Structure 1
Amino acid sequence: MTALKARLTDNAAWTTASPAVSVLIPFLRDDPSDLLRLLDQEAATVDGAVEIVVLDDGTADAELTARLVRQVKAMALPVRLITLPANEGRAIGRNRLASTARGGSLLFLDSDMRPDHSRFLADWAKLVATEDPAVAFGGFSLLQAPTDARYQVHRSMAARSECVPCAERARQPEKYVYTSNLLVRRDVFDSEAFDPGFTGWGWEDVEWAMRVSRRFRVVHLDNPATHMGLDTVEALARKYEQSAPNFARMVERHPGIVAAYPSYRAAKLLKTIPGLPLLRGLVRRMAGTDALPVATRAFCLRLYRATLYADAV
């Protein structure tokens, strides 16, 4: 694949910075300005240890770009904005961010995350200075996430599967690794980059963690950020539809590990059921029915995902 021509915007602090931690923020059609503002409030407390690299992965919004350029140039933290004319994809984009970063540790942070406290960057920088872990995950929360009724199904699902306490995550460290609020030491990333064969949405972070956990220790800590980007049922269903080929790729590469996943066991069972397309349509409609309890709708959406994966495995 031919590399896309990128537009680079650096602020004044970027040129002379020697960071230990590079915060890597990819986005597509989102606005990362609130996250950048919150991170920049910690500039005085991290004492030059942190830089930020932001990747616009093909949003093609001239107004947003102009606004971000102004914001980046005014920031106290060292910042580089990379603007691409077209989308490269999540895995390739993260690899591009890593190749631009100068820190010895890379902190992947999605643009729809918000730190849950005012020492977020300082705590990450302190961890790197004192322990220099190979891989560390700080955790997700829903503390600041929207509470609109249209997001209640996603909120329910995220609370169950993603917003897991640190002690519980540490018992299965390789399972609870997501590419947001994830710290990776540079030598680890250089030896195990994200697989560019994963396209669209889903599973590239889990597959990466499977490879990494075989060679390096994964640390979990309590330094959470809120996942602000809750989706409606319709949006989640579309993402699950995109993710089926990625799930199949992961199964092909790591059959022994994936065999223990509930999503895989459910998909294999559903594959044997006659009339699977009818069931898929039914649970999809039930997930979108506002009159049903949130727990029921969340179960139906998980079952819908399993029916999609049944065709992939």
Structure 2
Amino acid sequence: MIPRSSDPEPEISVVMTTCSRAHLLPGVLDALLGQSLLANVSVEMVIVDDQSTDNTPEVLARYQAEAAIPVRILQGAKQGVAAARNLAVQHARGRWLASFDDDEIAPPHWLQTLYGVAQQNHAVCVGGATALSLPEGRSFSEVGPRARRLLGEILFSEERSMQFHELPSTNNVLIRRDVFESLGGFDLNFTEGGEDTDLFQRMHRAGHRMWLAPEAKVLHLIPPRRLDPHVLSQSAMRTGAIEARLAGARNSLPSLLYNLTGRLVLAVARDLPQLAAGRLSRQPAKVLDAQLSLAVTAGLYRGLSAARGGSSQFLSRMDFRSRHGERPDTPPRQ
């Protein structure tokens, strides 16, 4: 346990990890420091710099010196996103944790909305919505619903309790810290993704009150590289492989085989016909969506070895962030 400061504890800790995204941080941090809630609720920020190789440390130091609220900067050990998120929480002092990503813009009412919904509904976890901001010159007509989901789009219209199959995302969620700690935090075995799904599934199974807040909508900044069909396909395969790993973590191989069977049926009954129809009608978005669904099935099949602990190398090979030039410090795919 990290020793707590003797200063009065804030009500909310905004926790975020970052790595080599200095070009995005000013917009991200300006939006967070402009939250309306800061006028009447005590808030701090805890940011883990997970071994950036650009000028991220200088950008963070400037904001730390100039911010009107406490900003703590920690150095990560590049041991995966789960370890970096846990590190931020270990040093957080707030009663609530507001988890955010380093490639998003929050409207001024974002934190106020999450906090208000939690208080009004006695919820220990509140998840917000995520809209996409595409690069200049790109259109939503290019990306179908499956592609948008892979890019992080989470849209819903009703403020209500979450169903078991509904999960928030760590890019936009408020969690009571004692609940997070009671669940043991993020599982460090999920080094390549899926740590958030695992945590929130455990939260559901523990019977905690979880809520949806559609008005707490953030804007996810999509770089051009993420729209590359090759990168999207690898992201889809990761999704399938991570699903397999989650099933393995739950010792649920029968469930995994059941899901795989269902995906294979969908591939034959839905995806392959959609792929053919999209090509005949020259609808690239429909073609891409069908290909992505097939890629999830392929990833699930390849990830069967995850149930026996053997898919880590497969997942690492498909890390679109480090291998395909999304970070400024990494070369583009050849």
Task: Give the alignment's TM-score, normalised by structure 2.
Answer: 0.71
Correspondence 1:141 to 2:137: no
Alpha-carbon distance change, 262 to 107 in structure 1, aligned in 2, over 3 angstroms: farther
Q: 1:250-284 CA deviation, whole Å, 9 max, x = no partner?
A: 1123439966997773158879xxxxxxx9xxx8x
2:154 maps to which of 152, 160, 163: 163
Match of 1:265 in 2: 262
- The root-mean-square deviation of aligned C-alpha atoms, in Å, is 3.5
Match of 2:48 in 1: 55
Match of 2:70 in 1: 78
How far residue 247 of structure 1 moved from its aligned partner, in angstroms, is 2.6
Contact 1:43 1:76 in 2 (8 A): no
- Secondary structure of the 1:51 match is strand
Correspondence 1:19 to 2:10: yes
Aligned identity (percent) is: 24
Q: Which residues in structure 2 correspond to 1:1-313 (within 5 Å)?
A: 16=7, 18-31=9-22, 32-42=25-35, 45-61=38-54, 63-84=55-76, 86-115=77-106, 117-127=107-117, 133-142=123-132, 144-146=133-135, 148-149=137-138, 156-157=145-146, 159=148, 162-167=153-158, 170=161, 172=163, 174-192=165-183, 193-200=185-192, 202-215=193-206, 216-222=208-214, 223-229=216-222, 231-232=226-227, 233-242=229-238, 245-254=241-250, 255=252, 265-266=262-263, 292-313=283-304
Of 203-212 and 223-232, more deviation after overlay is shown by 223-232
Alpha-carbon distance change, 269 to 160 in structure 1, aligned in 2, over 3 angstroms: closer
Match of 1:274 in 2: none
Distance 1:50 1:89 in 2: 26
**AA in 1 matched with 2:146:** M
Distance 1:158 1:50 in 2: 35
Alpha-carbon distance change, 97 to 267 in structure 1, aligned in 2, over 3 angstroms: farther
Of 161-170 and 228-237, more deviation after overlay is shown by 161-170
- Secondary structure of the 2:232 match is helix
Unpaired segments of 5 or more residues in structure 1? Answer: 1-13, 272-278
Contact 1:105 1:185 in 2 (8 A): yes
Aligned length in residues: 280
How far residue 57 of structure 1 moved from its aligned partner, in angstroms, is 1.2
Task: Give the alignment's TM-score, normalised by structure 1.
Answer: 0.75
